[in-house]
Amino acid sequence: MMSEKLILGVDIGGTKIAAAVVTGEGKVISRDYSPTSAQAGPQVVIDNIFATIDRAISSSNVALSQLSGIGIAAAGIIDSENGKVIFSPNLPGWHEVSLGDAVHQRFSVSTYLGNDASLAALGEWRFGVKKQVTNLIYITVSTGIGGGIICNGKLYTGVLGAAGEVGHMTVDVNGPRCNCGNVGCWETLASGTALAREAVKHIKEGANTSIVEFAGGDLTKVDAKVVFEAAKQGDKLANQLIARLGYYLGVGLANLVNIFNPELILIGGGVAKMGDLLLKPAIKVVNERAFATSATSVQIRPALLGDDSSILGAVAFVLDNLAEGSTIRGE
> How many other C-beta atoms are found inside a 10 Å radius of the C-beta of residue 124?
28
Assess whether the region 6-115+308-324 and the region 130-303 belong to the same CATH fold. Answer: yes
Q: What is the pLDDT of residues 211-240, one digit of tens each?
A: 999 999 999 999 999 999 999 999 999 999
CA 252 to the chain's CA centroid: 16
Instruction: Choose among 252, 121, 239: nearest CA to 185.
Output: 252
Average pLDDT (54-68) is 95
pLDDT of residue 9: 98
Q: Note the pTM of the prediction, 2 decimals.
A: 0.93
- Integer Cα distance of 121 and 171 in angstroms: 23
Q: What is the pLDDT of residues 245-264, one digit of tens each?
A: 999 999 999 999 999 999 99
pLDDT of residue 14: 85
pLDDT of residue 331: 46
Q: Is 83 left (phi over 0), alpha (psi -120 to 50) or beta?
A: left
- Integer Cα distance of 47 and 53 in angstroms: 10
DSSP state letter for 183: B
Sequence letter at residue 25: E
CATH code of the domain made up of 6-115+308-324: 3.30.420.40
Contact by Cβ (8 Å): 113, 328: yes
Cα three-residue angle 324-137-272, rounded to 5 degrees: 125
Strand-pair category, 16-23 with 28-35 = antiparallel
Phi, psi of 212, deg, nearest 5: -65, -30
Domain layout of the chain by residue ranges: 6-115+308-324, 130-303
Q: What is the pLDDT of residues 322-331, one digit of tens each?
A: 998 765 554 4
34-46: burial string, b at 16+ Cβ within 10 Å, e else: bebebeeebeebb
Task: Give me the architecture of the 130-303 domain, per CATH.
Answer: 2-Layer Sandwich (3.30)
